[in-house]
């Protein structure tokens, strides 16, 4: 490959990635919701009820999908990167951003909200996005499972620490 060909390949990859992001159902849903909000539109009752019913089942169905497609042998091969990602999500992010939040004056319920945003399990939507974008679904599923299992311990630990220090 010549330099020009490599540059074109990179541009094509970037363009394809941007198109995939723009076609992402989560992004499209957010944009549709913003459009309704900006135009002050209200959703008719019947479609709203149908959407509510679907949204109530989306997360359990997605978790069922992860569980059904989860193979322990595949997950074991991804154990190390899954644990690194889980540690970053549940321990390192809160440890890095709590001092900044405290410096900015956040306390009590505000600090709990920050903890929930930073230290909660990885969302199931990341697995769906990884699968839809033909990325590493096994690693993503492993991270979702690991953070879901470990968050009960880490969140309890963070709450204990924040209470002991008198910040919540």
Dump pLDDT digits (tens) for 114-159: 999 999 999 888 888 888 778 888 899 999 989 999 999 999 999 9
User: Percent of the chain, pLDDT > 70?
Assistant: 95
3-state secondary structure of 122: coil
- pTM for this prediction: 0.72
Distance CA 108, CA 83 (A): 30
The residue to which tokens 């968050």 are assigned: 151
| Cβ contacts of 156-159, under 8 Å, gap ≥ 24 | 158/94, 158/115, 158/119, 159/112, 159/115
Q: Which of 4-8, 20-24, 65-69, 82-86 has the highest mean pLDDT?
A: 82-86
Between residues 92 and 145, which one has the greater pLDDT? 92
């Amino acid at each position: 490959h010549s330099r020009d060909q490599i540059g074109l390949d990179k541009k094509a990859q970037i363009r394809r990635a941007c198109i995939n992001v723009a076609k992402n159902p989560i992004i499209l849903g957010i944009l549709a919701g913003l459009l309704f909000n900006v135009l002050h539109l209200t959703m008719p009752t019947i479609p709203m009820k149908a959407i509510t019913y679907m949204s109530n089942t989306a997360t359990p169905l997605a978790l069922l999908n992860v569980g059904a497609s989860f193979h322990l042998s595949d997950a074991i091969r991804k154990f190390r990167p899954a644990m690194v990602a889980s540690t970053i999500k549940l321990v390192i992010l809160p440890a890095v951003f709590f001092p900044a939040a405290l410096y900015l004056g956040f306390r009590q319920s505000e600090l709990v909200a920050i903890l929930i945003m930073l230290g909660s399990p990885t969302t199931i939507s990341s697995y769906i996005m990884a699968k839809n974008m033909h990325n590493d679904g096994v690693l993503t599923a492993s991270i979702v499972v690991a953070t879901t299992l470990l968050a009960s311990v880490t969140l309890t630990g963070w709450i204990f620490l924040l209470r002991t220090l008198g910040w919540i």
